[in-house]
Every structure is written in structure tokens, then in C-alpha cells.
């Protein structure tokens, strides 16, 4: 059976003309200079503003928009439309596990800039006074300088900016954005935007508020939607903003009910006017890439849509560390995660016409992590049709002695990167 499949795929590619993208190949997106038409039997389908892919189907004169590629960044393109989004495949073809011939570069690569999430624990308890803005005007690290260095010297183009929910509302559940606290957080957001990079607004509460799970005994879906409505309205005109619905949900009793909570947030974001920015959808088990399918997150989040029923610009949020217990607390790495996590996930994504974004990964500045992280990054590059990229953990207010530190050292006007950043994480490293 395997030999038949390989022969079939080889024949398919041989028959594809030079000017056409192959089945599951890239056919459009921001910066794409390759073919924009697809081989017979497939149609160029918009996944998001950064990526269009040849998926099984036939082009129709009544629906020509499915073969056009986006030319603007999220927020700057045309409104989300079900006519430009492909439906999940109900019967994946055998060839959907094949690597694309020309996957193109990873679209988003960067690092987390923590500080506003300090004081938060994994039970969703966040002490407002524990937040420490990673900005020199608040006696924190030079987060603005770090981001400028990462963009100019390392080639990064995205930063994740974690923040506690309690900090945003000054500890009032269901409250509006606190004017003073939101202004301080916005200073970090604006410093990020000033670099030209994309900026992920990440509520870092583990699907909880003070120990109680959203939509399942804790904050109501309406309260969750309200904070996202406020944030989306504030940044609706910023095309470089990405909305990270929630950091690392875990121990969620009912994953389908959690999917409804995520849906409430997505609907609120879109209805607040942020109609085309990327939204990251998080699953259970600390958004584990390895458990995303088996724990039911994939099935539950497949049902989350934009208000018009499409899933354009809705990206699955996954995390994966490389240490022995997948916790991201150990300096040594023991796996590249390919066989157990990335291979099954990329196949599922490709078969279902969806994409994921690894917004937390990292390791110690050790030889073992250099080896395994380089392998993981190489694999993600080979599968960039379905993996948008990765964001390392972490710089910002973390000291250089932190076990997973990616904080660069500043000496005068010179920045020196952590070993793992220099070896594998920075795009310019390769």
C-alpha cells in the first residue's frame, strides 16, 4: 500500500506543470512569490492572510474568490468571508500526510516578553501587584530594546505579550479595562508594534479566575467575552495584533463546554470590529501539541467559527517543550517531539485544512537543547504549510540565570543572545 501511495504522489507531482502549485502546496499569502494557481483537482483556498493552500476540490466560476491569494496583513485585508475559507475535510485523502514540495518559510517566529503575567499561578490566581512591566520606565527589563534587537539582528517578526486578566481589570471580575493598568500594558504593546512585528495579546490565566474554570463554575462566558470585547475594540484597527484567547487551559472537565467558551471569545472579538486579525484557539492539557487530538481539543475547537460560519484566521494554539516531563522547567532536552507530537499533528492539520501556531517552546542553553531544538525547528520549517511558526519562552523580565532564559545581554549598544537563540531559535541563525 505504501509503494502504491508513493508512486501515485510521484506521478501527481510529475504531471503538475511548473506554473502550478501541487496539491497541499502554497499558492498565496503575504510575501508569496511562487505559483498562485493549483494543479487539476485542487483549488487555492485562503487559510489566513499569510497563507493560501491548494486543497482538494474544483474551482467554480460562481466562486472565483477561492483561487485568489490574500495580499495584505491580518486586519488590512478584506473582511472575513465564508467564500474564502475551506470547510474541514470530512474524508481526508491518503495523500494529505505528504510533505508539500515547496512549503515556504515559517511565517511567524519570535519570543515571549513576560512581566505583566508575573504574579499569576497555574490555578488562574493573579496578584495584581505582582505584575512587573518589562519596560525601563517601570524599573523592569528593557523589553522595548529587546524586541528591537530581536527584529533588527535576529530576524524575529512576532512577540507574545502575556498579561494577567486580573491586572487588566484591576481585580474586578466582569469589570471594564482598568484605565491605568491597561495604559501600562499598552505601552508594551505599542513598543512591540513600533518594531513592525506582530504582537500577541495573551491572557495568561490557564482558563481560570482565582481557581475557578471559565464557563464551568467560574467566570461566565459573558464575562470572558466582555474582556475580549474590550481588548478587541481597543486594538481593532491594528493589523499586527494577534489575539491569544487564553494561555494553557488544563484539567478542563468538559472540553466541548470549553469550546463554547472559546467561541464566545471569538464572537466577541469579531463583533468588536477586529474582523481579520488572527485569533489563537487553545486546547486542554496546557495546550499540548502532543495531546491536542487525543484529548478532544481538536474536535471541540473545529466547531469554533467566525460569526459568518467560516474559520478564516482562526489558528490552533499549541505548546511543546523538549525536557523529560514536557514541563519546560529543566535545562536539558531529551526529545525533538517529532514522532510523538509534530508528525501526528501536522498530518491531522493538513488533512483537515487547518493550521497551528506553537506559541511556547524552549529549552536550556545546553548542548542537548541545541541538538533537539534545531531538529524541531527544522521539522516545523518543512511543514510550514500547516505550522505558522514558533515563539520561544522567554525573554522580557526573566534574568539570564533563568533555566529557559532567552533574554539577551546588553552591553552598551551591543546585545548578545542566549546560546539557544544563537544556535536555533533566531531565523538569522540558519
pLDDT of residue 31: 57
More confident residue, 175 or 6: 175
pLDDT bin (cut points 50, 70, 90) of residue 30 is low
pLDDT of residue 83: 28
Whether residue 60 is predicted with pLDDT greater than 80 in this model: the reply is no
User: Using CA atoms, how far apart are residues 362 and 48, in angstroms rounded to an integer?
Assistant: 26
Residues 6+ apart with CB under 8 A from 287: 247, 248, 249, 297, 317, 318, 319, 359, 360
For the record, the C-alpha cell of 299 comes out as: 474536535
What is the mean predicted confidence (pLDDT) over 221-242? 98
**Angle formed by the axes of helices 179-194 and 143-154, to 10°?**
20
pLDDT of residue 20: 84
pTM over 0.85: no
User: Are 116 and 188 contacting, i.e. CB atoms less than 8 angstroms apart?
Assistant: yes
Q: Kindly list the catalytic residues.
A: 248, 360
Whether residue 43 is predicted with pLDDT greater than 90 in this model: the reply is no
pLDDT bin (cut points 50, 70, 90) of residue 223 is very high
User: Using CA atoms, how far apart are residues 284 and 246, in angstroms rounded to an integer?
Assistant: 11
Give the lowest-confidence range in 70-79, 194-203, 220-229, 398-407.
70-79
Give the lowest-confidence range in 191-195, 204-208, 326-330, 389-393.
326-330
Counting residues of the chain whose pLDDT is more than 70, the rounded percentage is: 82
User: Using CA atoms, how far apart are residues 137 and 313, in angstroms rounded to an integer?
Assistant: 35
Q: Which CATH number fits domain 101-425: 3.30.70.20, 3.40.50.720, 3.20.20.80, 3.40.1440.60?
A: 3.20.20.80
Domain positions in the chain: 25-56, 101-425
For the record, the C-alpha cell of 206 comes out as: 490557564
- Kindly report the three-state secondary structure assignment for every residue of the chain: CHHHHHHHHHHHHHHCCCCEECCCCEEECCCCCCCCEECCCEEEEEEECCEEEEEECCCCCCCHHHHCCCCCCCCCCCCCCHHHCCCCCCCCCHHHHCCCCCCCCCCEEEEECCCECCCECCCCCECHHHCCCCCHHHCCCCHHHHHHHHHHHHCCCEEEEEECHHHHHCCCCCCCCCHHHHHHHHHHHHHHHHCCCEEEEEECCCCEECCEECCCCCCCHHHHHHHHHHHHHHHCCCCCEEEECCCCCCCCCCHHHHHHHHHHHHHHHHHCCCCCCCEEEECHHHHECCCCCCCCHHHHHCCCCCCCCCCCCEEEEEECCCCCCCCCCCCCCCCCCHHHHHHHHHHHHHHHCCCEEEEEECCCCCHHHHHHHHHHHHHHHHCCCCEEEEEECCCCCCCCCCCCCCCCEEECCEEECCHHHHHHHCHHHC
pLDDT of residue 61: 34
Handedness of CA 2, 389, 231, 248 (dihedral sign): positive
User: Are 407 and 396 contacting, i.e. CB atoms less than 8 angstroms apart?
Assistant: yes
pLDDT digits (tens, 9 = 90+) for 169-213: 999 999 999 999 999 999 999 999 999 999 999 999 999 999 999
Amino acid at each position: 500500500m505504501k509503494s502504491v501511495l508513493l508512486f501515485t504522489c510521484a506521478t501527481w507531482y510529475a504531471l503538475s506543470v511548473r506554473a502550478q502549485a501541487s496539491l497541499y502546496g502554497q499558492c498565496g499569502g503575504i510575501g508569496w512569490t511562487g505559483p498562485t494557481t493549483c494543479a487539476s483537482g485542487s483549488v487555492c483556498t485562503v487559510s489566513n492572510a499569510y497563507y493560501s493552500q491548494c486543497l482538494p476540490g474544483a474551482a467554480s466560476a460562481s466562486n472565483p474568490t477561492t483561487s485568489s491569494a490574500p495580499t495584505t496583513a491580518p486586519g488590512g485585508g478584506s473582511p472575513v468571508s465564508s467564500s474564502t475559507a475551506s470547510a474541514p475535510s470530512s474524508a481526508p485523502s491518503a495523500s494529505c500526510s505528504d510533505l508539500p514540495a515547496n512549503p515556504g518559510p515559517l511565517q511567524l517566529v519570535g519570543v515571549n516578553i513576560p512581566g505583566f503575567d508575573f504574579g499569576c499561578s497555574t490555578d488562574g490566581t493573579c496578584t495584581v501587584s505582582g505584575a512587573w512591566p518589562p519596560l525601563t520606565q517601570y524599573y523592569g527589563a528593557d523589553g522595548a530594546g529587546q524586541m528591537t534587537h530581536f527584529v533588527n539582528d535576529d530576524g524575529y517578526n512576532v512577540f507574545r505579550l502575556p498579561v494577567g486578566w486580573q491586572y487588566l481589570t484591576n481585580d474586578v471580575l466582569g469589570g471594564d479595562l482598568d484605565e491605568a493598568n491597561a495604559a501600562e500594558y499598552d505601552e508594551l504593546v505599542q513598543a512591540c508594534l513600533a518594531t513592525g512585528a506582530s504582537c500577541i495579546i495573551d491572557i495568561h490565566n490557564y482558563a481560570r479566575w482565582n481557581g475557578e474554570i471559565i464557563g464551568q463554575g467560574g467566570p461566565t462566558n459573558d464575562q470572558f467575552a466582555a474582556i475580549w470585547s474590550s481588548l478587541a475594540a481597543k486594538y481593532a484597527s491594528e493589523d499586527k495584533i494577534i489575539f491569544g484567547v487564553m494561555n494553557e487551559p488544563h484539567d478542563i472537565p468538559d472540553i466541548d463546554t470549553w469550546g463554547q467558551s472559546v467561541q464566545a471569545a471569538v464572537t466577541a472579538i469579531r463583533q468588536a470590529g477586529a474582523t481579520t486579525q488572527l485569533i489563537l484557539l487553545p486546547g486542554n492539557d496546557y495546550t499540548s501539541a502532543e495531546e491536542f487530538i487525543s484529548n478532544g481539543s481538536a474536535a471541540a475547537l473545529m466547531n469554533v467559527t467566525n460569526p459568518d460560519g467560516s474559520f478564516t484566521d482562526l489558528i490552533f494554539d499549541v505548546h511543546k517543550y523538549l525536557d523529560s516531563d514536557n514541563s519546560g522547567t529543566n535545562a536539558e532536552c531529551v526529545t525533538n517531539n517529532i514522532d510523538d507530537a509534530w508528525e501526528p499533528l501536522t498530518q491531522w492539520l493538513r488533512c483537515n485544512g487547518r493550521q497551528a501556531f506553537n506559541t511556547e517552546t524552549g529549552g536550556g542553553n545546553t548542548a542537548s537543547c541545541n541538538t533537539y531544538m534545531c531538529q524541531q525547528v527544522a521539522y516545523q520549517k518543512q511543514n510550514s504549510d500547516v505550522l505558522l511558526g514558533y515563539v520561544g519562552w522567554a525573554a522580557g523580565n526573566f534574568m539570564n540565570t533563568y533555566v529557559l532564559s532567552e533574554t539577551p545581554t546588553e552591553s552598551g549598544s551591543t546585545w548578545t543572545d542566549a546560546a539557544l537563540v544563537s544556535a536555533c531559535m533566531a531565523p538569522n541563525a540558519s
